Amino acid sequence: MRSLSIRAKLVVAIVLIMAVSAAASTALVRALYVRSSRAASAEALRGAAAAYAELERAEIARMAAIVDTLAAHPGIRDAFAARDRDRLQEIAAPIHATLKGEHGIGHWNFVDTDTRRMFLRVHLPAKHGDVIERATLIKAMERREMSAGKELGKSAFALRVGKPLLVEGRLVGYIELGEEIDHFLARMRQQTGNDFAMFISKNLIDASEWARTRGTARNDWEDLPDVVVVKATTPDQLVDGAAVAGNLAAGATLDETAHGGVVFARAVFPVRDSSGSVVGGLVVRHEITALHGAMWRGLLEAIAFFVALALVASVVAYLLVDRMIFRRLRAMMSTMEDASMRLAGGDYSVAATVKASSDDELGGFERFFANFLGVVGSTMRALVERNRQARPPASPQAPPSRLG
C-alpha cells in the first residue's frame, strides 16, 4: 500500500466501501427473510392449532347431538335396559353403518353402569365383557353427565363422547361414540391449504395391534425410532428428528425445507389426550415459495441499490476530493516550483506573491509556505548584503605602458 498513490488508495477505499455495502445489504435482506419465514411458520402454527381446536369443538358438538338422538331412541333404550345384546345389535347395526358412512363415527359402545364392562361394541359385537378404563368415559360415570375427549387406544387416536342413558330416571348404562381424529387432517388441509402429519409416541401404542390394523398398507413402525406417523395428508416425509425433538409442550417452528422446487415453512404443535398429557404432535407444512422468491428478488434489488448508491457516493466523493484537494495540491506544487525558482534567481520578496486560497487546512499550509519563503528570502537577502559589505574594495588598475 505504501507504493500506491493517494488516488489509488482512494479507489481501493471506494471499492471496499462498495463491498461492505453489498455485504451489509445481503445480511439485512437475509435477516428480514428469516424473520418473515419464521413469522410465516408461526402464523401457520397458530392457524393450524386454531383450526384443529375448532374442528375438535365442532366434532364434539356434532357427536354430542348424535348421542342425544341415540339416547332418545326407544328401541335402543329398551333393548339396553333389558340387556338384550342381540336385539340391541340388530337395532344399532344399520344406524351405525349410516353414522360411519356419513359422519366417520367408527366406534359405538354400550357400557354397564356398575362394572364398567363393555356390554356391546356395535362395530365389533363379538368382543365384549372387558373393563373400560378410558378417562373420558370414567369422567362421564363420575359426573353422570356427558363427557368428551381424545383417547389413545392400542393403535388409534379417537375423539370420544360418552353419555349416561336414563330410562324413566333410572341409569341403565352409558353410550359412547368415537371417531378416529386422523380424518381431521384432510378437512384441515381443505380449509387451510397446508399439509399435516400426526405422530404418536410408540410407547403408548401396541406394536402388534398397529401392524394388524395396517391391513394391506405397509407397516411403517420402524420408520422412526420413537414415534409412528398416524396420518399424513402428503406422501412427503413431514415428520423427522427435528419435529419430534421440537418443543411439543408449547409448539415450535422448524427449519424450512424444499421439495421439487417448492419451499415450505414448518411447525409442530402438541397433540394431547383427554387428561392433558402430550401424546404426540402435529406437523404443519406451509408453502412459502412466493416469499422465498420475493426474498431473492429483494436481495438482488437491495444489493443493486446499495452498490449503485455506494458507486454514486464514491464517484461524488472522488470528484469532491479531486476538486477540493488534488486540484489545489497541483496548483500549490506549481506555485511552489515557481516561487522556488524565483527565490533562487534572487527575488527575495517572492513570499508576497504566495497567497492562501482559503482558510482550510490547505490554506493554512499555503500561509505556512509563504511565511517559510519570507523567512528564507529575508535570510538570503541578509546574507547577500553581509557578503557585499565584507568584500574589500577593488584596487585601481595601472594604465598600460606606452614604451617604445
* Residue finishing a domain among 236, 261, 294: 294
Banded model confidence at residue 376, pLDDT cuts 50, 70, 90: confident
Query: Is position 360 within any domain?
Result: no
Average pLDDT, the chain: 80
Do 107 and 141 lie in one domain? The reply is yes
Residue 119 has pLDDT above 90, yes or no: yes
Q: Does residue 148 fall inside a structural domain?
A: yes
Together in a domain, 169 and 227 = no
Task: Mark which of 244, 278, 294 sits at the end of a domain.
Answer: 294
Backbone phi and psi for residue 145, each to the nearest 5 degrees, phi listed first: -150, 170
Q: Are 111 and 124 in contact (CB under 8 A)?
A: no
Three-class SS of residue 163? strand
Cα–Cα distance measured from residue 184 to residue 181, given in angstroms and rounded to the nearest whole number: 5
How confident is the model over 209-258, as pLDDT tens digits? 888 777 667 778 888 888 888 888 888 888 888 888 765 666 777 777 88
The Cα 153–Cα 261 span in angstroms is 39
Give the domain extent around 151: 72-180
Cα–Cα distance list, 210 to 177, 220, 228, 229, 230 (Å): 21, 9, 10, 11, 10
**167 and 217 within one domain:** no
Across the strands, what pairs with 231? 198
Highest-pLDDT range among 93-107, 313-327, 386-400: 93-107
Q: How far from the centroid of its chain's Cα atoms is residue 89's Cα?
A: 54
Number of domains in the chain: 2
Indicate the residue among 294, 316, 346 that finishes a domain: 294
200-211: per-residue pLDDT in tens? 888 888 888 888
| Residues in the chain, overall count | 404
Q: Which of 58-72, 125-139, 239-253 shows the lowest mean pLDDT across its residues?
A: 239-253
- Please check whether residue 81 lies inside any domain of the structure: yes
Instruction: 1-6: list long-range contacts, CB under 8 Å, 24+ apart.
Output: 6/326
Long-range contacts of 312-318 (CB under 8 A, 24+ apart): 313/17, 314/14, 314/17, 314/18, 317/14, 318/10, 318/11, 318/14
> Could you tell me the three cell numbers for 10?
482512494
